[in-house]
Structure 1
Amino acid sequence: METQAMAAARRWLADQGVGQVGDGWVSADAPDVLLTAGQVAHSWAGEVFAEELDTAEQVRLAFGLLDLLDEYWVTCELRFADESAKGPLPADALWGGYRERLEAERHVEAVTYSLWVDWFEDRDTAATAFAEVLGNDIGRIVAEPSEAPLRRARRVLACSGPVAWPVKEPTYRCAVRLPALHPALFAGLLASCHDIYGDLEPSAALALLDQLDLPADTRHLAELRHMLAAGHKHR
């Protein structure tokens, strides 16, 4: 189902002479050349931020392109715009766009990958990004769980490995109170230990791990417990 944001992005692309044809895209400049969604993203996503729109509208249009094309490169252009001389982007539009997509039922790999490798691996942005997409809301989500916010919490916890331990530990300690979040919290702890940029404190992580209600045969559970008990921070 096409959302209003996707429809707006489609109209904007049409204004640039770009339209969808079957499984691909074509440009008015080369109508016989079939383009992939990735090629469209690389060629036109950055142009959104040259439009004569207020910055929040540019951000919303970029997110519409992300929904339409499902390409990670669109999130790169958002990050570039945030770091540009005209940045930072309005927080409500930027992080509201991330939260909305993290709560959506549809596949959001480009969004979670963007969080992981761009915002969370960068120590200059990780704390703000993590707070905006989950940390500020975790208490409410745990106290009053509902489907969409829980979906967001699961997705963020699972990709939170690179976030500095002091930043994410309070959120982890809150999340452990809700069993529905235990599998995602385990994924976050595992990534914190295994990811090259992962960060954790072994004793505190082990204390959290011991509170998780998980099947005894959960893959990597015994291995992670052993590593944390031995004081390992990274594999």
Structure 2
Amino acid sequence: MEMQALEAARRWLAARGVRRVRDGWVSDERPDVLLTANQVAHSWAGDVFAEDLDAADRVRLAFGLLDLLDEYWVTCEIRFANGSADGPLPADALWDGYRQRLEADRDAEAVTYSLWVDWFEDHTTSATAFDEVLGNDVDRVVAERSEPLLRRARRVLECSGPVRWTVKEPAYRTVVRLPALHPSLFRGLRASFHDVYGDLEPAAALALLDRLELPANTRHRAELRHVLAAGHENHFSSPGAWDDAVRSCS
């Protein structure tokens, strides 16, 4: 499915006179000007949603552009289209696109960054987004333990800091049963404390932290335990708490 979307995106750009060359991209309008993938994304990605296509096919074409260009801006155009007067986008196509790329055995930085700063930091969308990419099928992730599902879970957990604690705690409590996900859950707990919009409940987070099987030399585990045991909810709402923990644990 991803390869089909990528090839469709390549053909779509070619029809607009945009093609890849050895060191970047060029357009027929200005063939002597070398473009970056980011420039291509900013110039053409938004046009996908003006195409005379089924709405789901537009979404799939946009994700194909993401695969082709690997640029965060493509995810911005997807988000803009979802919130536009013609939105929302078809949920199946939208979240299938995210899930597939979170499971893929290749870099997913643009996708995880999009989840983190666009979908998870916005509390009007974070619950739906988190449930779609992990919460709804976390039991299957733990039961099946396939590498694609584990890969998706790791990536989501590690950028889930801004998600409301009441939304993500059930998934956290489920994945704690699987040691393979403990390092990523630890990073999720740490981000829940450190992120500007991070959210956690100290006692519940501490109970989860104490169940994690982590290497003895895991950095910041002792400090995180210290601030949680003291009842701190967030680095930015408790200035100095982390520095106190560093001094106490050194």
User: Which category of TM-score, normalised to the shorter sequence, fits these structures?
Assistant: over 0.9
Structure 2 unaligned segments of length 5 or more: list them. Answer: 236-250
In structure 2, the residue matched to 1:185 is: 185
In structure 1, the residue matched to 2:27 is: 27
Give the whole-Å Cα distance in 2 for the aligned partners of 1:71 and 1:177: 35
In structure 2, the residue matched to 1:50 is: 50
In structure 1, the residue matched to 2:141 is: 141
In structure 2, the residue matched to 1:226 is: 226
The structural deviation recorded for 1:4 is 1.9
The structural deviation recorded for 1:23 is 2.2
Number of positions where the alignment pairs a residue of Structure 1 with one of Structure 2: 234
Give the whole-Å Cα distance in 2 for the aligned partners of 1:216 and 1:93: 42
Q: TM-score scaled by structure 2?
A: 0.93
Give the whole-Å Cα distance in 2 for the aligned partners of 1:116 and 1:88: 20
How big is the alpha-carbon RMSD for the aligned residues of Structure 1 and Structure 2? 0.8
Q: Which amino acid aligns with 2:132?
A: E
The structural deviation recorded for 1:58 is 0.3
Give the whole-Å Cα distance in 1 for the aligned partners of 2:212 and 2:203: 15
The structural deviation recorded for 1:143 is 1.6
In structure 2, the residue matched to 1:159 is: 159
Give the whole-Å Cα distance in 2 for the aligned partners of 1:64 and 1:120: 23
Q: Which amino acid aligns with 1:225?
A: R
In structure 1, the residue matched to 2:240 is: none
The 3-state SS of whatever aligns with 1:25 is strand
Q: For 1:196-235, what aligned pairs fall within 5 Å after superposition?
A: 196-235=196-235
Q: Which amino acid aligns with 1:100?
A: Q
Q: Which amino acid aligns with 2:205?
A: A
Give the whole-Å Cα distance in 2 for the aligned partners of 1:23 and 1:222: 47
The structural deviation recorded for 1:144 is 1.8
The structural deviation recorded for 1:68 is 0.3
Give the whole-Å Cα distance in 1 for the aligned partners of 2:123 and 2:68: 30
Give the whole-Å Cα distance in 1 for the aligned partners of 2:215 and 2:179: 12
Give the whole-Å Cα distance in 2 for the aligned partners of 1:106 and 1:6: 14
Q: Which amino acid aligns with 1:108?
A: A
CA shift digits 1:4-56 (9 cap, x unpaired): 21111010000111011112000111110000000000000000000000110
In structure 1, the residue matched to 2:6 is: 6
Give the whole-Å Cα distance in 1 for the aligned partners of 2:233 and 2:68: 39
CA shift digits 1:124-178 (9 cap, x unpaired): 0000000000000101111221110010000000000000000000000001000
Alignment partner of 1:59 is 2:59? yes
The 3-state SS of whatever aligns with 1:100 is helix
Q: TM-score scaled by structure 1?
A: 0.98
Give the whole-Å Cα distance in 1 for the aligned partners of 2:135 and 2:3: 28
CA shift digits 1:160-202 (9 cap, x unpaired): 0000000000000001000011000000000000000100000
Structure 1 unaligned segments of length 5 or more: list them. Answer: none
Percent identical residues:
76
In structure 1, the residue matched to 2:102 is: 102
In structure 1, the residue matched to 2:122 is: 122
Give the whole-Å Cα distance in 2 for the aligned partners of 1:187 and 1:234: 14
Give the whole-Å Cα distance in 1 for the aligned partners of 2:131 and 2:47: 29
